[in-house]
Amino acid sequence: MKISNAVRYWLELPISSCITEILSLPVNRGGFGIPSLCATTEKLRLNQRHKFKNSTNEENHSLWELTKSENVKVDSIILKTADRKTAMKILSLEKEEFAFDHLKQLKIQGQTIVALSEAVSKACLSKWSKALNILTTPLYNFTRKALQQQLPTASNLARWKKILDPSCPLCQKRQTNKHVLSNCGSLSALERYKQRHDKVLTILAEWMRRNIKPNHTIHVDLEAFEGYRPLSELFTSKRPDIAILSANRIDTLELTVCHETNMIKSKQYKQSKYENLKQDLKSTYKNCRLINHTAEVSTLGIMSDFSSFANQTLMASLPDNININIILSVISSSFVIYCNRNLSS
């Protein structure tokens, strides 16, 4: 309890926040990877029980037999595994799934983490979690609260009995964490979302321009930037964010910055939107093979895999430093969006 309270104070989380399970959940699932004292005790007990069972000393082995009834759970794991290392792994996985199942049951706090586990790989989440360590304290705390949807938005404040009206002052819809960071329809919010999107697009486009394969040209939907050709050269109306032209092929990449719970839906929506993009190709390029790709970046900087696009058009995969730049850019922008959530300008 003291540890949970200390973490709650450190992250400035409300009293209702789930701490224990988030602490114990591995970093590759969005947690801190810090086992509880209870879990540590069970590992120590398993280690000792394994020594008793496999001891050549008769007294130790007798102790194992005499105390079986007191250590049913740990002993059952030992009995069904060949070695101590495997038994430890099984125990750790059981603790991990217990914490994750608890979060699954939380309608608000666990929703984002559960959605991310379905949308991105554990390796991606692990890299993202480690990148958070270079954030300033305000940004780190903001990110952690946003991940559990515990930001003090109007909806949460009303739920916590701090205010009466849960509405967004800009559009009058319920002001949830998701609403603030990606769903508000007011003109001021939409402009802030666009600025966040274009910052990510600029980072990606600059890196791609430096790493594009020979005899390929890059077209980007960014105004007033040198080094890119306009998308209007390729398309008549619909225009994805990036298109790379080779001799007989065009690969497009549509970037979406969306809420963590919408990454899969956003991908499906963009795939549907550009399904018939070939009809918008200018006559000069009608014979080119057109392959559409998407890249989803969450409001907290977690990026989906777009390696198929990179492998086809670029000489390198996305390096860690560019990934970190995107994480920092998105989190910083989302923090500004949150701080200005009630301002119309």
Q: Which of 80, 97, 119 lies at the terminal end of a domain, its last residue?
A: 119
Q: From CA 258, how far away is CA 298, in angstroms rounded?
A: 5
Q: Which of 75, 93, 119 lies at the terminal end of a domain, its last residue?
A: 119
Residue 6 CA to chain centroid, in angstroms?
A: 25
Whether residue 234 lies inside any domain: the answer is: yes
Whether residue 132 lies inside any domain: the answer is: no
Mention every residue, 6+ apart, whose C-beta is less than 8 A from residue 56. none
Its domain, for residue 298, covers: 190-339
Do residues 87 and 226 share a domain? no
Give pLDDT tens digits along the chain (345 positions).
677 888 888 888 888 888 888 988 999 999 999 888 888 999 999 999 999 888 888 888 788 888 888 888 889 999 888 789 999 999 999 999 999 999 989 888 999 999 999 999 999 999 999 999 999 999 999 999 999 999 999 999 999 999 999 999 999 999 999 999 999 999 999 999 999 999 999 999 999 999 999 999 999 998 756 678 899 999 998 889 999 999 899 999 999 999 999 999 999 999 999 999 999 999 999 999 999 999 999 999 999 999 999 999 999 999 999 999 999 999 999 999 999 999 998
Domain count, the chain: 2
Q: Which of 92, 119, 146 lies at the terminal end of a domain, its last residue?
A: 119
Do residues 325 and 214 share a domain? yes
Whether residue 146 lies inside any domain: the answer is: no
| Residue 256 contacts residue 266 (beta carbons within 8 Å) | yes
Q: Kindly report the CATH number assigned to the domain that includes residue 256.
A: 3.40.91
Do residues 112 and 194 share a domain? no
Q: Starting at the edge strand that comes first in sequence, how are the strands of the sheet with 242-245 ordered?
A: 217-220, 242-245, 249-258, 289-298
Do residues 107 and 196 share a domain? no
Predicted TM-score (pTM) of the model is 0.91
**Residue 164 CA: distances (Å) to CA of 49, 160, 168:** 56, 10, 12
Helix axes 111-119, 263-273, angle to 10 degrees: 50
